[in-house]
Chain A
C-alpha cells in the first residue's frame, strides 16, 4: 500500500513534502547519505536510482536531498546557470520516470491525484465513440494524434508493443490555461496541442511530460528565490561545499554548451539591464552617487560579466583568465557612469576610484592585477530591498521588477524574454 506522503516523491513542493522539510535537522546534522544523495541525484541514469521505496525513511531522504540539492546549487551559481539547468533537467527526468513507473505498476490514480492539484483535467469517455463532454473527437483525429506521438518519440512501427502503445494514445484532456507556466518557457507549444472547447487532449506520455516540466519550472523558480536570499545573507559554508561538488558534475562545456548555456558569460547586454542599473549608468545626483557607482554598478557589472558559478565566490580570479575583463570591460563602464554624475563622482572624490577595485576584490588600488584578486572581498550585488532603502531614487520598477528580488536575477530573466511599451491604434 502506498502511504500518503509518497506524493512528495512526485511533487517536492506538495504540502506533504513541506511537512517532511519541516522535520529536517539542522544543516550540520544532516545525515551523510542525504548529502551524497543530494549530489548524486543530478547524475541519476538508472531506474533503480530514481525510484523511491515506500518506507517513510526513504521518502524523507528523497525530500531532504532534493531541497539540499537546490540550496547548494543556489549557493554556488545564479539563476539560469549551467548548474541550475543541470538540476532542473535531472529533476524533470526523475519525475517523468517515476510517473511512468507508477503507471506501469497500476498506481495511475496516485499520479492523477498529484497532477490534479496543479492541473484541471478529465478522462476522455470511450463508449461508442471518443467523447470530451458534448464533443465527439473524430476517430481519425484520435489515431492521427497517436501516430504523431509515436513519431515524435521516434518509435518505429515494429517496435510498438502492447505495453508501450497505451502511453501514446489520447486519454485525458487538460485545461489549456493550466499550461501557462509551460507556454511561458516554451515547454509546450499551443499550436502543437489539440485544443477543443478549452481542453487540450493529451496522452499519458504528454501528461508525464507536462507535469515533469511543471515541476522543473517550479524547481528553477525555487533556485532563483534561494539565490536572491543568499545574495542578501550569504550561503553557509557546508552548502557551498556541496554546491561545488554538484557543479563538478556538469558535463564538459564544449559538449553540452547548447543544452546548458542559456546565459552566456561574456559580453554584457545593456538592453537587459534592470531600470536601477540603467539609471545608475546614466549618472545620478549627489545623494545617490556613492551607492549607485561604488555599491550597485561595481557589483552588478562584475557579476553580470563574469557570471561566477561552480565555486564558492570569493575571488574573481577563479573565474577569469585575463585582467583585461576588469580593466577594459567592467571598469570603463563604471568610470563613465561616475563622470556622468552631477557633480562628477571622481572629480571631488578621486580616492573612490581605488574603492571601486576594492569592491571588486583587488584591495585598495587603481592598478588591479589578477594576482591581487582576493585581497579584499568581492562584494555581491545588493538585493532590491536594500537598493530601495539605501538609494530610493534609483528604484523605478517596471513589470519584471515585481517578480524578482535582485537586479542580477532581472538581468538573467531578460534573456528569456523582454517587454516593451507602446501605443495601439
Chain B
C-alpha cells in the first residue's frame, strides 16, 4: 500500500477527471445547501464558512481550485456561510489508525499500514454494531478517511443531541466507564466486557508495566495467561483475574481503570462531542496520502483498492 503526498498537478487531474458527484453520499447530497464547507490549500483547513446551494456549484469549485483537502460540516445550519442557525448534527466517531492506543504493527508518527487500517476498520464496525443493537440506530454510514474511518449516524434521535448526551454516547460505545455490575448479560455491561476483552487481547507486557503497582512477574503471567483472562472477562468473571498471584485489590482496580482509559482512546471523543466539526468530504482527495475519502457501503468487505486514485494506479 503506497501512500505519499499528491502534487498540485495530480490534485487538478483528480478533480478534473476522476471526481464525480455520484461519489457523494446521499446524506450529504440531500443536505448540501445546509452544510458549511471548509478547504485546505496547503496551510490547514482555514478556509471555512463556504456554502454551496447546488452540487454543481461544489463540482465547479473543486474542479477550479483542486484543494489540498475538502471538508463538510457534520452540522446543518440555516445559514452555513455564517455558521448560524444550527439545526442538527450527525453523531460521528473518528477512528484514526494512526492514533490507535494499541497497535500490532510498528507504524509510528502519521504513518499507517494495511494492518492498522484494518484494526481501525474493525473498531468502526464494532462501534456501529453497538449503535445498532443497543441504541437502535439504523442510519449508520462508514467513510474511509485516508488514515482511518468515520462512523456517521444520521438518525433523528441523535442528531438533535447536544454535547453532554454525545459525551455519554462515547462513554457507552467505547466502554469508557466501569459498570456497577460487570456480570449483567445484556446492556452496557456486555459492551464493556467486549471492549475490555478486545483491548486486553492487544495488550503487551510493556504496556502492562505502565500500570502503577504492576510487577514484572505479574505482567508476564497475565500475558502468558491471556486467553484465560479474555475468556474470564467475556464471562464477567473478574474474580478469576483478581485472584492472580501478586495481583491485589489495588493493582486489579488500576488494571481495570487502565483498560477503560485505553477503550476511550479508540476514538477521538472531542470529534464526537463537537457539534460543529467539519470532516473530510467523502469523494474528495486526501492529498497527504493520495487516497480518496470514500463512502464504504459494506465495512466487512472494505478494500483499500477502491480508494486508490487513478494517478496512483498509473504511477504504480
Contacts and interface: CB of A to CB of B under 8 A. Distances in A.
B29 interface: no
Nearest to B134: A195
A425 B145 contact: yes
B118 interface: no
B270 A145 contact: no
A190 B171 contact: yes
Interface string B159-202: 01111110011011000110111011111100010000000000
A194 B86 contact: no
Given A144-B184, A180-B157, 17 more contacts: A137-B186, A183-B168, A190-B168, A190-B169, A191-B168, A193-B187, A194-B186, A195-B172, A199-B136, A399-B275, A419-B163, A422-B270, A422-B277, A423-B71, A423-B277, A424-B268, A425-B148
The 3 closest A-B pairs by CB, nearest first: A198-B136, A177-B157, A194-B187
A423 B136 contact: no
Contacts of A197: 133-134, 136
Interface in A175-195: 175-177, 180, 183-186, 189-195
Contacts of B165: 180, 183-184
Interface string A129-153: 0000000011011001100100000
B36 to A, nearest CB: 10
Contacts of A421: 274, 276-277
A196 B38 contact: no
B184 A185 contact: no
Interface in A114-173: 137-138, 140-141, 144-145, 148
A127 B168 CA distance: 34
B184 A195 contact: no
A175 B181 CA distance: 22
Nearest to A136: B186
B177 A183 contact: no
6 contacts: A189-B177, A192-B180, A192-B188, A195-B172, A417-B163, A423-B45
Interface of A: 137-138, 140-141, 144-145, 148, 175-177, 180, 183-186, 189-199, 201, 397-399, 402, 416-417, 419-425
A87 B183 CA distance: 39
A40 B71 CA distance: 56
Nearest to B44: A423
Contacts of B222: none
A195 B277 contact: no
B271 A419 contact: no
A140 B163 CA distance: 34
Nearest to A176: B135
Contact of A144 (B158, B183, B188, B275): B183
Interface of B: 38, 45, 71, 83-86, 92, 94, 96, 133-137, 145-148, 150, 157-158, 160-165, 168-169, 171-172, 176-177, 179-181, 183-188, 192, 268, 270-271, 274-280
Given A177-B158, A417-B164, A424-B278, A141 B271 contact: no
- Residue of B96, B270, B274 with most partner-chain A CB within 10 A: B274
Contacts of A145: 184
- Residue of B45, B168, B171 with most partner-chain A CB within 10 A: B168
B97 to A, nearest CB: 10
A201 B85 CA distance: 36
A230 to B, nearest CB: 26
Nearest to B77: A399
B171 A191 contact: yes
A232 B134 CA distance: 46
- Residue of A176, A402, A420, A425 with most partner-chain B CB within 10 A: A425
A416 B184 CA distance: 32
Contacts of B279: 424
Given A176-B135, A177-B158, A419 B275 contact: yes
Contact of B164 (A177, A186, A398, A402): A186
B264 to A, nearest CB: 12
A180 B162 CA distance: 9
B274 A422 contact: yes
Contact of A191 (B172, B185, B277, B280): B172
A172 to B, nearest CB: 15
